[in-house]
Amino acid sequence: MAYSPYGRYFWQHQGTITGNGNSTSLNTPTNTPIDIHDATDLWLAVYAPNAPTGTTPTLTVQLDVFDDFGNVFPGVLTLTQLTTSTLKAQGSIGVHVQGGTSLVLPATCQVSWTVGGTTPAWPGLCISLLGR
């Protein structure tokens, strides 16, 4: 596929998150990574439209990539941690990224997240991975 300046969704999730996880485990029933083989740039965004619950809730969202052998390289892009006062974060990675992380992208990736705090819940959380 030729490079296109128009972005498109590669993966998105909306719902409550209460524990650690990743997009690969949510891609049921196949448990497959996200196919990004025709992308040169990615934009990862997370937005919490509702205040989190629990004591001192935190949420860290990152992009992990896989090599051709299936080995994971975690956190090639890690977003600013979400807290009760920071409810959105974004980041870019790829070949044409200015002010972000420059990286030649592999064929597959996953979005992963780590939840912290005591009995945390992030209701209605929106995570989006767009690319071009």
pLDDT tens digits along 53-91: 999 999 999 999 999 999 999 999 999 999 999 999 999
pLDDT of residue 33: 94
Domains held by the chain: number:
1
Q: Which amino acid is at 38?
A: D
Q: Which range marks the domain in which residue 77 is found?
A: 8-131
The answer to pTM > 0.75 is: yes
CB contact at 8 A, 113 and 60 = yes
**Nearest-angstrom CA–CA distance, 76 and 95:** 13
Kindly state the average pLDDT of the residues 22-37.
84
**60 belongs to a structural domain:** yes
Which CATH number fits the domain that encloses residue 79?
2.60.120
The answer to the question of residue 1 being in a domain is no
SS3 25: helix
> Quick check: is 23 in a domain?
yes
